Amino acid sequence: MKVLERIKLSVKTRRVESFGSKAPRRSWPPEGSFDLVIDDHCFHCIIGNDRESFLSEAKRVLTAKGILFIRTMCGEMPPSTPSEVRAMFDPISRCQVYNGVAGRYFGRAEDIVDEVSKLFTIEDSVIQKQVDGPEMLNIQLRKK
């Protein structure tokens, strides 16, 4: 069963919780609390060492056979990207930089796969081409 089918089933049959980054640490869920963690369109906004912290925290809260699903921007900016946005792209860090602060990471899909495979087993990954936007990497990971 594909992860999106599992999500739909889980929402119908189980309690679903959401924890934002601003939640006090004491209210964060205990280790092994979730069968599934979903990051839909956020991972590319996590920069530098915070990415490893995010992945470690996702692994911590997943059950032994839990799944992490990530949908994130990847690859090159599409030709339709406005020139003022394109000018903010740093090809070395692969980040979009606003006033000296990195805001988005446009990693190559293979680099993102390598990054997440340090903590997770890759079950499925698909690059979604978009007509007027960046490529999207959909990746289903299982806790090692």
Q: Is 92 part of a structural domain of the chain?
A: no
Average pLDDT, stretch 132-144? 92
How many angstroms separate the CA atoms of 70 and 141, rounded?
A: 8
Q: Is 41 part of a structural domain of the chain?
A: yes
CATH number of domain containing 114 = 3.40.50.150
Distances (CA, A) of 120 to 68, 87, 112, 139: 8, 34, 12, 11
Q: Is 101 part of a structural domain of the chain?
A: no
Matching residue, tokens 């921007």: 73
Distances (CA, A) of 65 to 24, 83, 120: 27, 44, 10
Matching residue, tokens 């205990």: 30
Q: Is 59 part of a structural domain of the chain?
A: yes
Q: What is the pLDDT of residues 26-65, one digit of tens each?
A: 567 889 999 999 999 999 999 999 999 999 999 999 999 9
Q: Is 49 part of a structural domain of the chain?
A: yes
Domain that holds residue 42: 3-11+34-75+106-143
Residue ranges with strand state E in the chain: 34-40, 62-74, 89-90, 95-98, 101-105, 120-128, 135-143
What is the percent of the chain where pLDDT is above 90? Answer: 65
Q: Is 17 part of a structural domain of the chain?
A: no
